[in-house]
Amino acid sequence: MEKTKGFVIVASHKRNFYLYALNLAESIRDFYEPEEECNICLVTEERFIDDRGYDVADEVIFCDDHYRSKLWGMAKSPYDLTMYIDADMECEHEDIIKVWDEMKDYDMVYSELTDDRDYIYAERDFDTPEGKSKFTLCGGVCLYDMSKPIVREFMDDWWDLTYRQMNDTWWPDGYADSLKSWDQFSLWWLTEKEEKYKDLKIGIFDDDLRWNYYNAFNWARTQPKDPVILRHFSAGLDKDKPIV
Amino acid sequence: MSYRKWLDNAFWEDETKSQVNCILEMEDDVGRVTRQVMKLNRLDKDGNENELFNEVVDSVTEELIDKETNDRVERKKAEQDEHRQRELEHEKARKLEKLFNYKLEAFEVEEIKNSKNRKLKGKLRRAKSRIEVDLYSIMILQEQLEADSNGKD
């Protein structure tokens, strides 16, 4: 049986994220051909939902107001092949349809944090009891195969670990407290430290900047080979200030 | 053992080669190394040759100073161009963020929010400037107003 495919977008905590999510979902539909094959699952809080949410999404799942509900939402994906996209992104190219080809034989696919893109990251290098380390995977977008039990388990664990590190019920010795707010840390921990995930096949999108182009990047310095597909407005938005 | 030497990155301050910018590196008897940047004139105020200037040109050679001068000009120009380009791109990125916010504001206008015209809303979303956002917003508003008045009729 063919695997189901769809996008997961999560909007929690601030209403602005809901508005970003609507815009992202609409923008995916603008470019996805044929549009009727474009499946979108919107994970949001009940207090935010309005007709637009039900119109643009094929499925709506309610979450709580946790700042990192994105991970809870990712673990709840109704699709086998799932493309999670941060709500504050926008689709701007028809190659969005090609996202499923990026799965190849990987279990999960991410965009990469690299040294030459270092200039926009808030916190990337950190000390560990074994020496210096750095984050290499960016969780802004993630393509994953939920038909594999190990991936489903990983997604549950990623949420669980992040939840626990943020409410201080889990934290390993020898790591700075400033890392607690980053789901990148729990991602790093699971992929680098957890025995059961050592065989997980993790890939990087081809020309990965196309799939998660931070608007904060300087185009003269950092650009993909082909046109941007998903632009990330993360840095330049005031998420707390109501849009209207 | 102490020494003094002129570093080979000296360059001319002007096209007439009347002044050279150079660095003298010295090591004292206890092994401490110091570097001193100097701007030396070819002639002193009375028009006599400057011995230190001649020493630099003899040591580094005029050809090497010429080459370093040209390389430095090109390097500086490339740095300036890159800086200018980065500033420009930074400006563009900020503009895009503002436009993104502006579009989201437009989508919160009641009539646009309720419009089912996906084609026009898509055009609004892909607008490249505020004026384009305004134009598509007006078109959607107009359509909504017409629909409302037709409904009343």
- Residue A238 in any domain: the answer is no
- Interface residue ranges in chain A relative to chain B, Cβ cutoff 8 Å: 19-20, 22-23, 26-27, 29-30, 52, 90, 92, 215-221, 233, 236-237, 243-244
Closest chain B residue to A233 measured between Cα atoms?
A: B97
- Residue A239 in any domain: the answer is no
Alpha-carbon span B118 to B115, nearest angstrom: 8
Per-residue pLDDT at B152: 61
Report residue B120 as tokens. 């026009």
Give which of A232, A204, A192 is closest to A24, Cα–Cα: A232
Indicate if the pLDDT at residue A2 is higher than 90.
yes
CB B85 within 8 A of CB A220: yes
Indicate if the pLDDT at residue B111 is higher than 90.
yes
Indicate if the pLDDT at residue A35 is higher than 80.
yes
Alpha-carbon span B88 to B47, nearest angstrom: 48
- Residue A243 in any domain: the answer is no
Give A26's contacts in chain B (Cβ within 8 Å).
Answer: 118, 121-122, 125
Average pLDDT over residues B95-113: 95
Task: Give B30-49 pLDDT, tens digit per residue.
Answer: 999 999 999 999 998 899 99
Task: Give A85-131 pLDDT, tens digit per residue.
Answer: 999 999 999 999 999 999 999 999 999 999 999 888 888 999 999 99
- Residue A104 in any domain: the answer is yes
- Residue A241 in any domain: the answer is no
Is A30–B97 a contact, with Cβ atoms under 8 angstroms apart?
no
Put simply, whether B105 touches A (Cβ < 8 Å) is yes
Beta bridge partners of A230: A91
Domain count, chain A: 1
Give which of A56, A115, A116 is closest to A91, Cα–Cα: A56
| ipTM of the modeled complex | 0.88
Mean pLDDT of chain B: 94
CB A142 within 8 A of CB A57: no
Closest chain B residue to A20 measured between Cα atoms?
A: B104
Give B125's contacts in chain A (Cβ within 8 Å).
Answer: 23, 26-27, 30, 90
Instruction: For residue B105, give the amino acid letter.
Output: E
Beta bridge partners of A75: none
Indicate if the pLDDT at residue A45 is higher than 70.
yes
The CATH code of the domain that includes A81 is: 3.90.550.10
Give which of A116, A115, A137 is closest to A189, Cα–Cα: A137
- Residue A193 in any domain: the answer is yes
Please give the residue range of the domain that contains residue A143.
Answer: 5-232
Measure the CA dihedral B37/B43/B44/B47, to 10°: -170
Q: How many CB atoms lie within 10 A of CB B98?
A: 12
- Residue A240 in any domain: the answer is no
CB A79 within 8 A of CB A59: no
Give which of B123, B111, B118 is closest to B147, Cα–Cα: B111
- Residue A237 in any domain: the answer is no
Per-residue pLDDT at A237: 77
Per DSSP, helices labelled H in B1-153 are 51-60, 62-107, 110-114, 118-125, 130-152
Task: Give A151-185 pLDDT, tens digit per residue.
Answer: 999 999 999 999 999 999 999 999 999 999 999 99
Indicate if the pLDDT at residue A26 is higher than 80.
yes
Put simply, whether B83 touches A (Cβ < 8 Å) is no
Task: Give A128-143 pLDDT, tens digit per residue.
Answer: 999 999 999 999 999 9
Is A20–B104 a contact, with Cβ atoms under 8 angstroms apart?
yes
Task: Give A48-93 pLDDT, tens digit per residue.
Answer: 999 999 999 999 999 999 989 999 999 999 999 999 999 999 999 9
Per-residue pLDDT at A137: 96
Is A216–B96 a contact, with Cβ atoms under 8 angstroms apart?
no
Per-residue pLDDT at B153: 57
Is B82–A220 a contact, with Cβ atoms under 8 angstroms apart?
yes
Q: How many CB atoms lie within 10 A of CB B71?
A: 12
Per-residue pLDDT at A223: 95
